[in-house]
Amino acid sequence: MTARDSRAKNRFLVYILATALVGLLLYLFYAFEPAMRTDLGAHVAGREDSLLKIPKLVLWGVLSYLAVRALNATLFGAVFRFRRGYEAPTLVRNIFSIVAFTALFFFVFNRIYPEVNLGAVFTTSAIFGVIIGLALQDTLGNFFSGISLHADRPFQVGDVITVGQQKHTGVVEGITWRAIKIRTFQNHVVLVSNSNAAKEAIEVCPRENLNARLVFFGTLYTDSPAKTIHVVREAIHDAENVSRKITPIVRIRNLGEFAIEWEIKYWLEDYAKYNDTDALVRQRVWYALRRNGLSFAFPTRTIHVERKSTATGIPKNGQGVIDRLLAVEIFAPLSAEETEKLAAASASHVFAPGEMVIRAGDQGSSMFVVHNGRVQVQVTENGKARNVAVLNEGDFFGEMALFTGEPRTANVVALEETEVLEIGHAAMKPLFESNPDLAESISYIIAERRVGLAARQEEIPGAASEPAGLLNSIKRFFGLG
């Protein structure tokens, strides 16, 4: 049995005892009334009747009070909780008790003093009204604000709210006659008077609602946004109290002075624990960034010292680029030296997931090799995109337009963060001149890819599809003999 249950049981016992006692007193009073009347008559002749009415009124008054309490407990304690699923607000219970008790008391008073018109006493006393009005100005203000708060039902016990001029935030513990009682996250109890609360905007984060939080951090400009999004989302989605129902959002909120400024939006299971969960999310971000070689930004000043290019002209990650090009099938006929030259002439570009590297129909004078990541080749049929192929690291694309001078035949879209090496017309021309085999092997590959595109509605006008025809058009385009 919980402490709450045993307290309720004790209260119930006291209540039964009190009712029994008052009942007994009333019984005794009525039983001995004739005797008391004779006794009193001997001392205060003629006034015994009005003297006997006072204890009678008191006893009936107490009994009325107990009856109202019993009704209150049955109506709100049991019926309200079982039928509606939550406890009746204190304010509603109190209003009910006052109205019921006043009505009962009027009734009892009328029975005992039928000659006194209580209604007239209250309604005709203007001064009484003024006094009551002035004395209860604030109280009544709070009372009516409380009633309107209950009528609107903007929040319930257990919700987190921000209320009042000082913007107190905490969990609602109760709404009384006078005030809203909230427990702040420092475990303080704050009472915001109902009339104050009613004047200000109240921010409510309902308990049964998926409430969101924002957490901020910043990374260096050199860190990849796509990677950061992936790493952070993975790091936080299974953190305690982070809701699994909605995937957290990780997005760039600003390109700041020295940092890419990020915002994490996540949803909580239990909003009342948002401080702990924010902290956990920040902690997870720290570890995830560290594990993945990403860095938090802090105020920095970057001085760029431009160095003369190296003797070979190969970029810093040159060996990686050379290795990549050596593995590309169409460049197989090239010597090591030629591949190095090609690497030096290539430019690296990074595309975000979903970005278009090549758009069908554009003019193009370069081809690309996928260095890191993946791309998708799409053609448009009747306004709908059809995926033709996925190209991985070491695959190439864009050769058709480069080698034939025709418009791009397809869209190529980055599927994830993708680094491509771009090789232009000028870089290829000397290679064709020194390597006649190259033009031939390329013509075979283009012919093969054309077959993949055959389902397209309109063919490229005047485009050759046979390797021999393609070879001729390559030779023509590059001015080869």
Query: 142 or 409, CB closer to ligand CMP?
Result: 409
Determine if residue 164 is left, alpha or beta; phi over 0 gives left, psi from -120 to 50 gives alpha, anything else beta: left
Please report, as residue ranges, which positions from 342 to 361 form the binding site for ligand CMP (by CB under 6 A). 358
Q: Quick one: DSSP state of residue 296?
A: B
Query: 273 or 386, CB closer to ligand CMP?
Result: 386
Looking at 401, 423, 428, 471, which residue binds ligand CMP (CB under 6 A)?
Answer: 401
Listed in order, strand segments (DSSP E) in 109-257 are 160-163, 168-175, 179-184, 189-193, 203-205, 211-219, 249-255
Burial 420-446 (b: 16+ CB within 10 A, else e): bbbbebebbeebbeebeebbbbbbebb
Query: 323 or 362, CB closer to ligand CMP?
Result: 362
Q: What angle do CA 373, 374, 380 make, to 5 degrees?
A: 150
Determine if residue 186 is left, alpha or beta; phi over 0 gives left, psi from -120 to 50 gives alpha, anything else beta: alpha
Query: 92 or 356, CB closer to ligand CMP?
Result: 356
CB of 341 to ligand CMP, least distance (A): 22
How far apart CA 105 and CA 82 sit, in angstroms, is: 30
Taking CB under 6 A as the rule, does residue 374 contact ligand CMP?
Answer: no
Could you give the string, one character per residue 440-479, with x where binding to ligand CMP holds by CB under 6 A and - elsewhere?
---------x--xx--------------------------
CB of 423 to ligand CMP, least distance (A): 12
Taking CB under 6 A as the rule, does residue 56 contact ligand CMP?
Answer: no
CB of 441 to ligand CMP, least distance (A): 15
Query: 266 or 397, CB closer to ligand CMP?
Result: 397
Where does this chain touch ligand CMP (CB under 6 A) — which range of 114-122, 267-275, 396-404, 465-473?
Answer: 396-404
Taking CB under 6 A as the rule, does residue 388 contact ligand CMP?
Answer: yes
3-state helix vs strand vs coil in the chain, percent to 5:
50, 20, 30
The residues that bridge with 347 in the sheet, in sequence order, are 422
167 CA to centre of own chain: 21
Looking at 389, 415, 447, 463, which residue binds ligand CMP (CB under 6 A)?
Answer: 389
CB of 362 to ligand CMP, least distance (A): 8
Of 466, 330, 315, 318, the C-alpha closest to 396 is: 330
Taking CB under 6 A as the rule, does residue 235 contact ligand CMP?
Answer: no
Please identify which residue in the block is written with the tokens 């209540």.
15
How far apart CA 398 and CA 470 sit, in angstroms, is: 15
Query: 232 or 410, CB closer to ligand CMP?
Result: 410
Looking at 351, 397, 477, 478, which residue binds ligand CMP (CB under 6 A)?
Answer: 397
Q: Record the tokens describing residue 366, joined without a space.
A: 């370069």
Taking CB under 6 A as the rule, does residue 377 contact ligand CMP?
Answer: yes
How far apart CA 313 and CA 403 sit, in angstroms, is: 25
- Number of residues counted as binding ligand CMP (CB under 6 A): 17
Taking CB under 6 A as the rule, does residue 409 contact ligand CMP?
Answer: yes
How far apart CA 323 and CA 54 sit, in angstroms, is: 109
Query: 99 or 455, CB closer to ligand CMP?
Result: 455
Taking CB under 6 A as the rule, does residue 375 contact ligand CMP?
Answer: no
Query: 175 or 375, CB closer to ligand CMP?
Result: 375
Taking CB under 6 A as the rule, does residue 198 contact ligand CMP?
Answer: no
How far apart CA 215 and CA 239 sit, in angstroms, is: 14
CB of 340 to ligand CMP, least distance (A): 24
Where does this chain touch ligand CMP (CB under 6 A) — which range of 14-22, 86-94, 326-334, 400-408?
Answer: 400-408
Q: Sort 474 into a burial class: Cβ within 10 Å, 0-12 / 13-18 / 19+.
A: buried
Where does this chain touch ligand CMP (CB under 6 A) — which range of 78-86, 88-96, 230-238, 407-415?
Answer: 407-415
Query: 219 or 409, CB closer to ligand CMP?
Result: 409
Taking CB under 6 A as the rule, does residue 412 contact ligand CMP?
Answer: yes
How far apart CA 271 and CA 33 sit, in angstroms, is: 64
Query: 364 or 373, CB closer to ligand CMP?
Result: 364
**What is the end-to-end Cα distance of the chain in Å, rounded?**
100
How far apart CA 162 and CA 211 sit, in angstroms, is: 14
CB of 395 to ligand CMP, least distance (A): 8
What residue ranges bind ligand CMP (CB under 6 A)?
Answer: 358, 364, 377, 388-389, 397-401, 408-410, 412, 449, 452-453
